[in-house]
Amino acid sequence: MRILITAFDPFGGESVNPAREAMNLLPPEIGGAQMLKLELPTAFGEAGELVCREMDRLRPDAVISLGQAGGRKAVTPERVAINVADARIPDNRGRQPVDQALVPGGPAAYFSTLPIKVMVERIRGEGLTGEVSNSAGTFVCNEVMYRALHHAAETMPHVRCGFLHVPYIPQQTAEKPDAPSMALEDIVRALTAAIGALEEKG
């Protein structure tokens, strides 16, 4: 099995992105599956185009995208991506779309095709906090999830796609005393456990 793993560069004034840091620390193989790692720009349009292009080039069996969700305490597999870009803050190119369709005429939403409930069970089995999330937001994270699922549905329906958000790491919360965080090594453990769930159906 070949799994395309993506994560974003830092955004929103942060100097690090815990999703990218964790992706880079994942082993080259998990449960016999090869990890194909890809850094994405936090940029509307560019990120979605790049993940679709790499899906065509690499022909993976699954696509798992990672992102930062500051304020969350758990690693959260996302249930659904919606066909809307509505940015609270500008992306890293200064773009800030409002109520724009990601794919004009495309479906309103796609559900993750990853075994999200099994992923949460695996994360909790490591003694870590995992929860299913019902909103991937309307920023670039949601775009990448939606575009990957749309591309798979249109051209490679056997490919499973989805998204996991991770919390801040402690160094990001020095000036955010009320924000929850998770140690980077624990995020890596959680993601490793979640990725291992792809051997099961769910």
Catalytic residues: 78, 141, 165
Instruction: Give how far Cα 53 sits from Cα of 17, 37, 78, Å.
Output: 23, 14, 22
H or E element, residue 65 = strand 62-68
Q: From CA 139, how far away is CA 141, in angstroms rounded?
A: 6
Nearest of 157, 111, 158, 101 to residue 133 by alpha carbon: 111
Residue 166 DSSP code: E
Q: From CA 9, how far away is CA 40, in angstroms rounded?
A: 6
Q: From CA 50, how far away is CA 147, in angstroms rounded?
A: 10
Neighbouring CB atoms inside 10 A of 111's CB total: 12
Instruction: Give how far Cα 187 sits from Cα of 50, 60, 64, 97, Å.
Output: 25, 23, 15, 30
